[in-house]
Every structure is written in structure tokens, then in C-alpha cells.
Amino acid sequence: MATVTFDHVTKAYADGTIAVNELDLLIKDGEFLVLVGPSGCGKTTALRCLAGLEEITAGQIKIDARIVNRVPPKDRNIAMVFQSYALYPHMTVFDNLAFGLKLMKTPKQEIKRRVEEAAKILNLETLLERKPRALSGGQRQRVALGRAIVREPAAFLMDEPLSNLDAKLRVQTRAEILRLQRRLETTTVYVTHDQVEAMTMGDRIAVMNLGVLQQIGTPPELYDNPVNVFVAAFIGSPAMNFATAKADDGKLVLGGTTLHLSGEAAKAAAQNRGRDLLIGFRPEDLVLNGNGRADDVHIPAQIDVVEYLGHEELIHAQSEGHEIVALVPSEQKVQAGQEVKFAIQSNKLHVFDPETELNLTARG
Amino acid sequence: MGGSSRFGRFQGMLFASPALIVLGLFVIYPAYYTIRLAFYQGDFNFHFFHYLGLKNFKDLLTNDPDFLDTSKFHGFNIVKELVYKSDGGALINNVHWVIFYLSFSLIIGLGLAVLAVRVRYERAVKTAIFVPMAISATAVGIIWLFVYSPNPDTGLLNAIIHGFDNGFHPIAWVGRPSLVNYCLIFAYIWASVGFVMVVLSAAIKGIPAEIMEAARVDGAGEWNIFRRIMFPMLSLPISVVTVWLFVNVIKVFDIIYVMTSGGPGTSSRVIAFTMYEETFQNFSNTRGPGYGAAVAVIMLVLVAPVMVLNVRRFRSERVVT
């Protein structure tokens, strides 16, 4: 158990590509931190830097108080779970689990005890004598996890460990990993490109894009208060709607519709009078034919397509030249071609500066 | 499926027949002929002349010091055998070939393969090491004759040693019965190591990087990664290469023919060389080509089990992966 610190960490490759740019992160002891972002955003590189598999170009990485910049991976006391699981194909499950302990010259009895304990936690007891090729994807995944936990390392590093599992197993294993981490209270850095995984698993989430940390916070913080357009668009599924509107005193003009605002949004509009601003609103915040709350903003739209999801339905619609998506309870019967009005609470409206892409309505 | 019907079976045979005919004509029939000839004295036209039964084999193994001289063989005391190496005949020489050629080719080849993947000019290095592979054994022999030449103006090896030690008297490396075999073996290793390296370095590249990385994170240093991950994962290619080297060394002939013609005396003869000598050169009243055929049969007997093991190993690996 340990804290992990990234202090202005930069990783540049020989060809000049900057994979990680000035990354600052403080991961608390026992915390489950998720690094999330689209592919190529530098999240895996950051993790590999922490593992010692990549050398950093500038900055410092600390595990507890120890600077590990030049410490080889084997001496960092961390365990890593790889996307491909990277099990040793010529060893049995038992030997795969015991490998790290053997290298540490752990006594045989102790190895046996710890491997069996890990096998019990992960339900691998009956598979110990098998070779990896005789295991299913889910079982291999559990062996990879087991290999990490037997060593009782200072931190777990996980690089998209669920991406090779099918959807059902992924949901199940997600919960399993969480349960395991809560139980062991080991500091965990988890890399994924899947924002649902990030939202459901992380104590905190760090969103990265193009090598730069965009925002770090708890899942509700990121969902409610994205600092910029990228985070707003990345977090949440289906993704946030965006539209361009002209700012005026306390209102925004979206095509032929005037949106009368209150609160932060009104302030942002007033400060940027005459400018085009980007407004963002989440599909699930839109209410069909909203019944007149005072601070509601109304957006007219024509329905294109309705996707029925069972409990809910996804409405694709055109509004003032923008394509918008709304997620509404499915009892509301609407049809393609129909003209409707969506209502949204003014304080659910995000206003972004189109140049800096920063959120002008972010609270706290 | 067509395979189960009569027509299907006929069709299958039809397609296989060209290969079968070639195989029968050039492998199976000559093999049969040779094995049969080994029981005869034979004549200049390789006819089955004068049946001898097992006499050829008996003579070879008990009565031919050029092929096997157990009186000079230090038994299985390998250290003694190597230190007091003396002329134990072609079969013992070939045992030396197997031990030294096989182990050094593998060790050097594997070492180079491991190192080659780490250097910046990997391709250039590999090409340089692989080049001897592309040279014919005859040319290899001539090159090394120069290297071993006792004339210090042409003999590279003598010149090098002379450079370190002025009082050194040039040695006729391939002219000494005690050294000649090792000199030949070394030249042949030089010519084969490139192949071993190329095959093994390709296999090393086939090991997923993540597995090595996992081992590094798990606490393994370079040596442990090599010993516990790389080496076991290379066991199949290593065994394939070993078989190739083994077959190669059992039938080694050309380089010896070029460099020493089995000499000085008969001290650098090996099995294949003896086969050639006895079949085509050494006719006498009592020995004909049948004697050489018997040597060929012994060679076949030595190679066959290794081939069988290899094929079996391949089959089992294929099933599980």
C-alpha cells in the first residue's frame, strides 16, 4: 500500500511525439484511480512509466516517498495486469501465480499458502495444475489478477484488463475487481478507454487527451462539472449534445429560439454578450414537453429516429440545425417527423467558450 | 466428403502419385538398394555380388581401426577422452563432432540471437553472421585452410598468435592428428551459427513483448527472464535446430573432403567420409561397395530415431497449440 505521485511527468519519444505531457497526479493510499481517455491519449504510456517499462523524459514519479525514475520495474514493488493477460504459457496456473514469489526467494511453504489463498479468492483452486492455453478468457483474466495479488505489492497497475472479455463477463469481472480492491485496499491505477468502466469503478477518474490531463475528480464531479468540452463529451453515455448559440444579456439565441437562462448560465451569457458560445446538455436531462418549471429552458425539435431500448428510448432529433439526442422514459409515445419541445433546467445547461473550450458554467 | 467414397480415394491417390513416384524412385528404392547391398561384397557395378551376411557390419565395428578403434577409446570417461584425444576412428570422431559442433553451435547461435535483437543495426549484424551460411562448404573449407595455414604470411590464426607472442612457432593446425578435428569442427560451426541465430532470433521475436514485460514487473532481471521465460518458450525451435544440426553433423563430409581428405592419415575421418571412401575409392579383393553401403546403413540407424522423435514432438506441439 502506497501513495503514487506523478510530478510534471513528460514522456517524449525519439521521433518527437509527446505521449505524456507534464502529468501531475497524486494517487492516495488505497485509492482506485482510473485513467481514461481515447486511444492514443497517453494513459497507457503513463501507466507504463509508472511500471518502469518506459523511461520518463522529465519530471518525477514517486511511490510513497521514493523517487523511482531510475528504478527498474523489478524493484518497484508493483504488480501489473496486462490487456493480453501476458500469462507465461509454459507454466501451470500455480507456477504463473508463484513466479513473482519465487523470484523473491519466498519459502516454499509460504508460496504455497499465498498462491492457494489467492486461488481461493479468485475461484481458481481447481485450475492450478492447468496451463494457460487450457483456460477460458475469463479464467485467464483471473489468473492475471491472481498473479498481481499474491505478491501483495504496493500498487496494482491494470491496463485495460477487461477489454478482451465479452460484454457479460466484463460487467461481472468489473464488480469482482472492485470487490477485490476494496478488500485488499491496495492502491490501484486502472487504465481504460471505456468511460462506463471509469465511472463505475473509479474512486476518482483522471481524463486524459493528447497526453494532457484534462480533469481529475470523482465520477459525479466529472459528470456534473466537466471543465471543458472534451471531458463533457467524453464522460456520459450517450454523449452530451452541443450546439452553437449567440450570447445576449441573460439569454442565448439558438437559431430562431431564445433560451432564457438563470444562474451560472445567465452570468456566462451576460459576460460574453454578442459572442457565439457552445452550449452543452446531456440527453438524459432533456424532458419531452416539460411541464413548465420556472427555470426551464425550452428547445424545439423535429424527431428523426426513435430507438427503443426497453426501459427508455433514445430520440434523435433536429433542432435549429443541430442534431440532438434525448434519452426519455419509453412510455412517452413519439414518432419520427413529429414536432416536439424539449425542456431542460437552466442549471443543467453547460456553456463553453468555443475558443478555449473551457466550461464557463463550471461550479467549484 | 469425397475422401470416403471410392472415387474420392482414387482421386487422392492420383494427386499424390507424382510425389510418391519421385519419393519412391529417388528415396525409397535407393534406400532399399543400399540396405540390401550392405549384406553383399558388391562389385564395381554395384551388383549384389557375393553375399556376406552381417560380415560387413562385423568388420566395421570390430575389425576396422579406421572406423572404430575401441582400444584407443577412453570409454565414457569423457574428460579423459577429450584430453588424451587420439585416433579412435571415424565413429569416435563423429561423436566428438556431435558433442562440440552441436553444443557450440547452439550456445553461440542462441547467444547471438539474444544479443542481435538488442543491437541497433540488427539487420546488418545478422546478415554478417548469416553470410557463411550462403557460402558453399567447399569455399568455407578453402577459407579456413588459409586461416589455419602454417605459413605465418597466409595463416591468420598463426599470425594472430604470433602477434601476441613473438617466440611462437607456427602450428600446422590441420596437420596434427590431435587438433585437426577441432579445427574442422570450428570451421563448420562458423558456417552454421548464422542459421541457428536466424531461426532462434525469429523465435525470440515471436515471444509477445507483454510476457517479458510481465516478468520484469514480476521481479525478474535479465538473467531470470532468459532462463525462466525465453529459454523454455524457445524449446520447440531449439529442438528443431538441434535436429537439423544433428543430421548435419552425422552427414558432414564436404568440408572434411576439401580441407583434409580425412587426414592426416585417417585421423579426421567421419562416418560419411568413410562411406564415400569405402564405396568409391577403397575397393580390394575382400571389400567392395557393400562395405560402404554398410556404413550408410549405420548412418541411417543413427539419424532415424532423432527424426522419429522430432516428428512426434512436432505432432504433439501442433495438437496443443
- What ipTM describes this predicted complex? 0.85
Neighbours of A321 (CB within 10 A): 10
Query: Quick one: average pLDDT of B49-53?
Result: 84
Chain A residue nearest residue B229, CA to CA: A88
pLDDT at B317: 61
Does A55 contact chain B (CB < 8 Å)?
no
H helices of chain A, in order, are 43-51, 93-103, 108-121, 137-150, 167-184, 195-201, 219-224, 229-234, 263-271
pLDDT at B64: 83
User: How far lies B71's CA from each of A206, B75, B176, B181, B291, in Å?
Assistant: 80, 9, 20, 19, 22
C-beta atoms of A52 and B224 within 8 A: no
Does A72 contact chain B (CB < 8 Å)?
yes
SS3 assignment, position A56: coil
Q: Which of residues 131-160 of A touch B (CB under 8 A)?
A: 133, 147, 151, 157
- Nearest 5°: the CA angle A93, A95, A101 is 125
Per the listing, cell 559442433 goes with B101
Query: Residue B2: pLDDT band by 50, 70, 90 thresholds?
Result: very low
Cβ proximity of A352 and A232 under 8 Å: yes
On the question of pLDDT at B76 being above 70, the answer is no
On the question of pLDDT at B306 being above 70, the answer is yes
Range of weakest confidence among A124-128, A290-294, B199-203, B231-235: A290-294
- CA A69 to chain centroid: 26
Query: Quick one: average pLDDT of B8-18?
Result: 91
Does residue B167 form part of some domain? Answer: yes
d(CA B97, CA B250): 8
Per the listing, cell 413529429 goes with A338
Query: Residue B5: pLDDT band by 50, 70, 90 thresholds?
Result: confident
C-beta atoms of A79 and B320 within 8 A: no
- The tally of domains found in chain B comes to 1
Tell me which H or E stretch contains A212.
strand A212-217
Cell of A204: 476518482
3-state secondary structure A74-139: HHCCEEEECCCCCCCCCCCHHHHHHHHHHHCCCCHHHHHHHHHHHHHHCCCHHHCCCCHHHCCHHH
Query: Quick one: average pLDDT of B168-175?
Result: 84
Identify which of B271, B275, B284, B274 has the alpha carbon closest to the alpha carbon of residue B43. Answer: B284
C-beta atoms of A90 and B213 within 8 A: no
Does residue B94 form part of some domain? Answer: yes
Does residue B264 form part of some domain? Answer: yes
pLDDT at B319: 44
Residue B296 has φ and ψ, to the nearest 5°, of -60, -40
- Residues of chain A neighbouring B211 (CB-CB closer than 8 A): 86-89
d(CA A135, CA A112): 21
Identify which of A136, A119, A137 has the alpha carbon closest to the alpha carbon of residue A128. Answer: A119
d(CA B10, CA A110): 64
pLDDT at B278: 87
Report the amino acid identity of residue A37: G
Does residue B209 form part of some domain? Answer: yes
Query: What's chain B's average pLDDT?
Result: 86
d(CA A57, CA A18): 10
This prediction's pTM? 0.80
- Residues of chain B neighbouring A90 (CB-CB closer than 8 A): 232-233, 235
Instruction: Give the structural domain span for B63.
Output: 55-316
Does residue B11 form part of some domain? Answer: no
pLDDT at A298: 86
Where residue B80 sits, what CATH number does that domain have?
1.10.3720.10
Q: What Rg, from alpha-carbon coordinates, does chain A have?
A: 24
Identify which of A47, A42, A46, A53 has the alpha carbon closest to the alpha carbon of residue A19. Answer: A42
Range of weakest confidence among A218-222, B2-6, B145-149: B2-6
Measured in angstroms, the CA of A175 and the nearest CA of chain B are apart by 24
pLDDT at A81: 94
Query: Residue B1: pLDDT band by 50, 70, 90 thresholds?
Result: very low
Does residue B197 form part of some domain? Answer: yes
Per-residue pLDDT of chain A (364 residues; tens, 9 = 90+): 789 999 999 999 989 899 999 999 999 999 999 999 999 899 999 999 999 999 999 999 999 999 999 999 999 999 999 999 999 999 999 999 999 999 999 999 999 999 999 999 888 999 999 999 999 988 999 999 999 999 999 999 999 999 888 888 888 889 989 999 999 999 999 999 999 999 999 999 999 999 999 999 999 999 999 999 999 999 998 999 999 998 888 888 888 888 888 888 888 888 888 889 999 999 999 988 766 676 788 888 999 999 988 889 999 999 888 899 999 988 877 888 888 889 888 888 899 999 999 998 876 5
Neighbours of A226 (CB within 10 A): 26
Helices (H) and strands (E) in chain A, counts: 9, 20
H helices of chain B, in order, are 6-23, 29-37, 55-62, 78-83, 90-116, 122-134, 137-148, 156-164, 177-205, 209-217, 222-224, 231-233, 235-250, 254-259, 271-276, 289-320
Query: Residue B86: pLDDT band by 50, 70, 90 thresholds?
Result: low
C-beta atoms of B218 and A147 within 8 A: yes
C-beta atoms of B214 and A82 within 8 A: yes
pLDDT at B170: 83
Query: Residue B263: pLDDT band by 50, 70, 90 thresholds?
Result: confident
d(CA A306, CA A311): 13
pLDDT at B197: 92
d(CA B51, CA B29): 20
Does residue B62 form part of some domain? Answer: yes
Interface-testing mutation among A84, A95, A99, with chain B (most B C-beta atoms within 10 A)? A99
On the question of pLDDT at B223 being above 80, the answer is yes
pLDDT at A158: 94
Q: Which residue among B219, B220, B233 places its CB closest to the CB of A89?
A: B233
Does residue B26 form part of some domain? Answer: no
User: Between β-strands A187-192 and A155-159, what pairing exists: parallel, antiparallel or unpaired?
Assistant: parallel
C-beta atoms of B219 and A89 within 8 A: no
In this prediction, what percent of chain B has a pLDDT beyond 70? 92
Cβ proximity of B279 and B45 under 8 Å: no
Query: Residue B287: pLDDT band by 50, 70, 90 thresholds?
Result: confident
SS3 assignment, position A317: strand
Chain B residue nearest residue A104, CA to CA: B219
